[in-house]
């Protein structure tokens, strides 16, 4: 009888611990994406989707448009090998999350 009560209590404690954990999706959404991983995913996009993602992030778009029309030409020629990590590092956490979401959406639209 005593073992049954202990087993039930342990079961209740385990159930409470599982219920207290946030869902994995909510945890992943709250975490700030890694700049290196974002860079790799961004470079893996085709040009049109890559450009649409960058145009949606004002800070990244401004960095390119600072060079005028030649900026976009240079980016098109080198976007898959250019080091985007330093530009991504300059983004705040919300912008990084937005970038990650845009990359996921662009990849899913293939």
**pLDDT of 95 strictly over 60:** yes
Q: Which burial class, exposed, middle or buried, applies to 98 when counting CB atoms under 10 A from its CB (0-12, 13-18, 19+)?
A: middle
Phi, psi of 53 (to 5 degrees): -65, -45
Q: How far is CA 90 from the centre of its chain?
A: 14
Residue 4: the pLDDT is 57
The rounded distance, in Å, linking the Cα atoms of 104 and 81 is 20
**pLDDT of 103 strictly over 60:** yes
Residue 31: the pLDDT is 81
Banded pLDDT at 30 (limits 50, 70, 90): low
Q: Is the pTM of this model over 0.75?
A: no
Strands (E) in 1-110, as ranges, are none
pLDDT in tens, 40-90: 999 999 999 999 999 999 999 999 999 988 999 999 999 999 999 999 999
Contacts of residue 90, Cβ cutoff 8 Å, sequence gap at least 6 = 59
Element (H, E) at 110: none
| Token pair listed for 84 | 């985007």
Longest dimension (CA), the chain: 80
């Amino acid at each position: 009888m005593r073992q049954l009560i202990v087993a039930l209590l342990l079961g209740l404690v385990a159930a409470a611990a599982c219920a207290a954990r946030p869902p994995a999706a909510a945890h992943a959404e709250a975490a700030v994406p890694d700049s290196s991983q974002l860079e790799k995913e961004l470079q893996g996009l085709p040009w049109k989707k890559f450009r649409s993602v960058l145009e949606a992030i004002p800070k990244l778009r401004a960095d390119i448009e600072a060079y005028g029309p030649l900026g976009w030409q240079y980016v098109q020629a080198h976007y898959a090998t250019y080091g985007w990590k330093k530009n991504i590092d300059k983004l705040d956490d919300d912008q990084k999350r937005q970038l990650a979401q845009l990359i996921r959406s662009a990849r899913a639209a293939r």
